[in-house]
Every structure is written in structure tokens, then in C-alpha cells.
A and B are shown apart, each in its own frame.
Chain A
């Protein structure tokens, strides 16, 4: 599912980032790599979110949020 379809307060795993290369690489160097855990803290009506990856909070605008695909942790083996 897309990050836009998630619920605040839950944890997901990053599946794929479909964004232009520069933005994608920036997110990756912030630790948003494939399979990493992502906590959705807040969602705004315009699509902006606050997330937490590897212990740090980031605010992301709608255009970025749309391009991030995540999957539910349910049914997966807990890796932590």
C-alpha cells in the first residue's frame, strides 16, 4: 500500500520508493531503505506526514508520501 493509506500510530516496512532519483537517494541516505521500519506518527489532510525512521522524526510533504510504498508488519516475522 502507499504511505498515504496508512494509519497514524502504526509501524510499517518500507517496500519501494517510486520517486525521482535525487529524492529517492536522499530518503535512502536518511535510512529509508528497503525493508526498514517506518512509524507513521501524524497525517495531515493535505497528505503531509510525520514519520519516524531509525529513531529520527521527519516531516514529509504529500508529493513524497505518494511515492513511498509500504507493507504491513502483520503476518511477517518480527525481525527486531
Chain B
């Protein structure tokens, strides 16, 4: 006998712990952080408890069920589907009053609802107490306290889901005033006449009274004469009146202390100090990335050398051909190994970003940077995707979905490639250490600043060109600060490292092999001199174009082209091209300066890498998120030209100043 399958939708306010709960059940490792809007797509997972199969669906966070925002519309459509059996309404118990609003909206929908009270530990910490016996009585639905982080109450909740499916919500939780209830009854009668099978006519009646856009479009003509105006305001007010009465009954102890978050906010959101503090925090993040990362890097390099030596030795003793050994040594190990040695830096970077995201600081940054973003015609909310761009552009572009206005979203997406993502980090590290010695960290740091400044400049010009565009004002919840959760951070950092490692094993490995082939072959077969290879003849073709930017070497041209696959490939190709063995190889610098490539050229190369067309994965994501191939290609072309122009200016001015 096959087990019965239940489809369970997880609904709740943003940042209430839905995804944490979902992960706890399904063992999934979806990203969790402490800012509203982390989940932008619905995710599914399955599990088995006792005799039941459960299909769990994690939905983006919402505050109500109107049709004003995309997420609310989608969640509502999903819940109204027939195949959803039970709704689990996840509520942040420490902000119960606001969370109950959505609960009431969900109950009205008529599907079986269970209230999962999350974060009860915070409620206790604050000295508050909730009457968990009274709450289900007044709401008429089961209430289950859970802790998503500590994984308690999980079995009870699923048990309740299985039971509640049969029983459903049998009674109406509260009545609106008579004048509204009368209208509801009238509308329901008309709906019943026309649609006798409509399961939740009360909900449709209420939505018609609110003059909800979608529902009115469908059924509006039926209720002419009854709905004389929008009752939305009255209905919202009545719900909150009811919630106030509920809170008065169930909240036994009012919160005594909540000063913790306020105290931290006194400093972090300070009107004058807020921005310097933010810049200071970012400076510390990058300082740690460079110093601690470099400290660990030495060990990783030793390990890679050991492994590659062992394998090359093995190949030699097996009598492998010279070209195989060259392919492995000068292609795969030089390229992949070179990039892998940056794992410690990337680890520290994502660890720091993860801590920032999980602490609750993220949405404060939106507030702090609102004044700067305001001048760019963007709301402070748009700064969150930019900040995520320091990690990786792909999730950053996806996070811009939280911005409702399409123009805001495009302008934000345009800014993201200007951020120095973790893939650009290896390029910065390789060249700054080779060419700038003690000033290496300063040079790398300047790339982060330059990207930010130029991005802001471009957005500013763009906003001036598109006059009359109305920006979406800032509106974001500021969650309570909390100590970052070890498990959350571990999942986050590991998933990022795994991405990086698999990229090293696939894209970078393939690119290194292709690079070796292009550099060691021409139409006659194997070549002994790279400058006679296919790659060289191709690179030479682009030299005249790149020369004004100080990048007029065929090797550089080949590197930059290869970097379109992934930005790390610029670094790995460099290793393959010049057979760089360590980050302080004096011979390479000497050789390059002999070719006319000095520190100024190196700086121009870094600037070009910072600004030119983002990697293929990002371009694909931008295409998907904007839905416009033309716009995406336009952006790609613009960035290419912009990168070239900036590099030319720096090189020309630089060579004028430094004779």
C-alpha cells in the first residue's frame, strides 16, 4: 500500500525562519540569512514521517495576501491551488502581533492552517510569556511551538499537519462589524448562485469588498450594486483590532528587555557615523581576506606542490609521453593548482560575508546607504544586492528580484558587475603581489573602491539620463540582531567553497587544457615556441586594440578572452602562459618588464579585469532575470567599452606622469 502524500506549503513573514525550518525537515541546505527577502523562489523537498509522505514547499516571505506585490500574488495563487493540502504558517513568536495579520489572512482563505510558533527562545529571553493554550482557542487553529534552529517540535508539527488535513478550519475566527458582514453574506449568495461549487466563497467575498484587482477582474460584474466602495481599509483595521484583543489575552508578560538591538543600532545606524562604520567593517573584512587568507595560502600551495609532484612523478615512471606530462604539469596543475591556492582567501571572504548576513546588519546597511543611493535614484534596498556582489554576482543579480520596480531592478543589476566578486580576487592577488610588493594590499583594496565609485558614477549618469523615473522608496524590516548561527554559517561557506571547487574542477580545468592546446599547437603540430601557436596568432590579432590601454601583449589578449568563461581563468591562464610557480616569482616580473609590461601595465590589467564583461554564468543570470536578450547584450557591450576606456585613460595619464 502506498503511503498517502500530503502537500504542505510553508508560508510566513519574511525572515521568520521558514527556510531554516524547511532545511531542518528536508536536510536541504538552502541559504538562510538574517535579512528579509533571502528566498526568492519557491523550493520543494520531500520527507516521510510515520505513514505519510510529505511534500514540503518553501515560499518567499510575505506580509499579507494582497495583489500589490509579486511574491504575494504568487504565494496566493499557489495556496489557492487544489493540490495544497495544509498550510503551515510560520510565525516569529517574538513579533507575534504583526505575524498574526498574515495568519488571519490565511485562515480566511479557507484551507487548513497550522500556526508554527518559531523563535520561542527569544520570547523567553526577553522575559515575555505567551499563553499557548488560549492562542489556539481564540484562533481556532492548532498552534505548535517549534525551534527551527534547535530542531525541536518538528515531529509534533508534522503530526498536527496529518491530523489537521482531515479536520480543516471548521469555524469562522471572528466577525467583521454588521455592515460588512451583511455585504459579505449578500455577495456570497450571488457567488453561490453562479458558482455553486466555489469552496471558499467567504474569501472571495472579502476580496471583492476590498476591490482586490485580480478577484474583481474575475467576478466584479456579479456584485455590482453591493460593492459601493473599497472596504479594504476597514477590513485591515478590523483584523488589527481583533489581533489587539488576541494579544491582550495571550501575552502574559510584556517584554521587559529589548534594549540589546536598540543599543547596537544606536551605534551602527548613527546618522553621521553610520557610513564610516560600514566602510570600516568592509575594510576589516578585506584585511582579513588578504592577511589571514595569505597566511593559510602557503600551506595550501605546499600541499598542491606535493600532490602535483607525486602525480607527475607517477606519470614519468609509467613512461608517459613528454606531451602528456607537459599537459598535466604546464596545463592542468599550473592552471587549476594556481587557482586552488586561493581557497583560503575565498574561505575567509565568504566567512565574513556570512557573518554579516546572519547577524542582522544587512538591512541596516540599506538604511545607512539610503542617502547615497537616493542620489542615484535608487532606494537603499538596492545596496543589498551590491554588497552580495562582493561574494558572487549570480546570487546578487537574483537578490535584486526583491526590488519591485523593473527600472530599479535593471539599474541595480547594472551596478553589480562593478563589484569585485570573489572570482576577481585571485587576479588581484596574483598581480598585486608580483608587481607591487609591500603595497600589494593597497592595490587590491583600491580595486574594490574603484569598482564601487565607478559603479555609482555610472548609475548616477544613468539616472540623470532617464529623468522622470519614479524610484521605489525604501521600505524594509530591520530584524533583531542575533549571534550568528554556526550551522547556518557552515552551510553557507561550504556551499560557496563547493561552487568554487567544482568550478576549479570543470570550467577552470577545461579552460587550462584548452589554453595549453592553443598555446602548444599550430597547423604543423606541436610547437616548441609558444609565440608560433594558434593562441598566439589569435592574440596578436587583438594587440593593436589593447595597446592603448597598456595591454598590448598577445598573451594578455589570450588571458582576457579566456576570462570570459570565469574570471578566475584570467589568473589560471596567466599561470599556464608564463609558467608562474610562486606568487613572488622575480623572474616573471623581470621577463615581463623586458617585454615592456611594468607595474603601470599590471594596474591597467587589474582595472580592465574589474570592469569588463562579467563571466558567462552572470550574463546568463542577467538574461534570465531581466528577460531581455537585447538589454543583456547591451550591458555586455557597454562594459567592454567602458573597461577599455577607463584602462586607456589610466594608462595614458599614468605613462605621462611616470616617464
Contact = CB atoms under 8 A, between A and B. Distances in A.
Does A associate with B in a complex?
yes
A42 B370 CA distance: 13
B371 A44 contact: yes
Nearest to B62: A29
B256 to A, nearest CB: 13
A80 B471 CA distance: 37
Given A31-B240, A42-B271, A59-B366, 14 more contacts: A29-B66, A29-B101, A42-B269, A45-B271, A48-B371, A48-B380, A50-B265, A55-B96, A59-B367, A59-B475, A60-B475, A61-B380, A61-B475, A63-B471
Given A33-B236, A48-B367, A56 B473 contact: no
Contacts of A22: 68
B374 interface: yes
B646 interface: no
A48 B98 contact: no
A34 B97 contact: no
Interface string A37-80: 00001111110101001111111111110000000000000000
A55 B370 contact: no
Contacts of B182: none
Interface residues on A, range: 20 to 34
Interface string B255-298: 10000011001000101000000000000000000000000000
A50 B479 CA distance: 12
A48 B475 contact: no
A46 B374 CA distance: 8
Contact of B232 (A25, A56, A63): A25
A5 interface: no
Contacts, number: 109
B524 interface: no
B99 to A, nearest CB: 9
Contact of B370 (A36, A48, A54): A48
B98 A55 contact: yes
Given A25-B68, A28-B233, A55-B95, A46 B477 contact: no
A64 B233 contact: no
B118 interface: no
Contacts of A58: 475-478
A30 interface: yes
25 contacts: A25-B68, A25-B236, A26-B68, A27-B475, A28-B233, A29-B63, A29-B101, A31-B101, A34-B237, A42-B271, A42-B367, A45-B271, A46-B370, A46-B371, A46-B374, A48-B367, A50-B367, A54-B98, A56-B477, A59-B380, A59-B478, A60-B474, A61-B379, A62-B473, A63-B473
Interface string B460-479: 00000000000101111111
A36 B237 CA distance: 10
A54 B476 CA distance: 15
B363 interface: yes
A50 B69 CA distance: 22
Of all A-B residue pairs in the complex, the 4 with the closest CB atoms, nearest first, are A61-B474, A61-B473, A29-B64, A63-B473
B269 to A, nearest CB: 5
Contacts of A10: none
B63 A30 contact: yes
Interface string B467-493: 000010111111100000000000000
Interface of B: 63-64, 66, 68-69, 94-98, 101, 232-233, 236-237, 240, 255, 261-262, 265, 269, 271, 363-364, 366-367, 370-371, 374, 379-380, 471, 473-479
A46 B473 CA distance: 12
Interface of chain A: mostly helix, strand, loop or mixed: mixed
B473 A23 contact: yes
A30 B262 CA distance: 20
Nearest to A66: B473
B403 to A, nearest CB: 13
Contacts of B233: 28
Contacts of B265: 41-42, 50, 57
Given A26-B68, A50-B367, A61-B374, A33 B237 contact: yes
B473 A60 contact: yes
Nearest to A26: B68
A53 B543 CA distance: 62
A42 B367 CA distance: 10
Contacts of A60: 473-475
Given A29-B236, A44-B271, A50 B478 contact: yes
A29 B255 CA distance: 23
A26 B69 contact: yes
Nearest to A45: B271
Contacts of B371: 44-46, 48
A62 B236 contact: no
B475 A50 contact: no
A56 B374 CA distance: 24
Given A25-B236, A45-B371, A61-B473, A55 B97 contact: yes
B379 to A, nearest CB: 6
Nearest to B105: A29
B117 to A, nearest CB: 15
A61 to B, nearest CB: 3
A30 B98 contact: yes
A79 to B, nearest CB: 10
Nearest to B470: A63
B262 A31 contact: no
Contacts of A42: 265, 269, 271, 367
A72 B478 CA distance: 24
A68 B363 CA distance: 22
A3 B371 CA distance: 18
A52 to B, nearest CB: 9
Contacts of A62: 374, 473
B394 to A, nearest CB: 27
A71 to B, nearest CB: 17
Nearest to B480: A57
Nearest to A46: B371
A26 B94 CA distance: 21
A56 B122 CA distance: 14
A62 B265 CA distance: 19
B475 A26 contact: yes
Contacts of A63: 471, 473
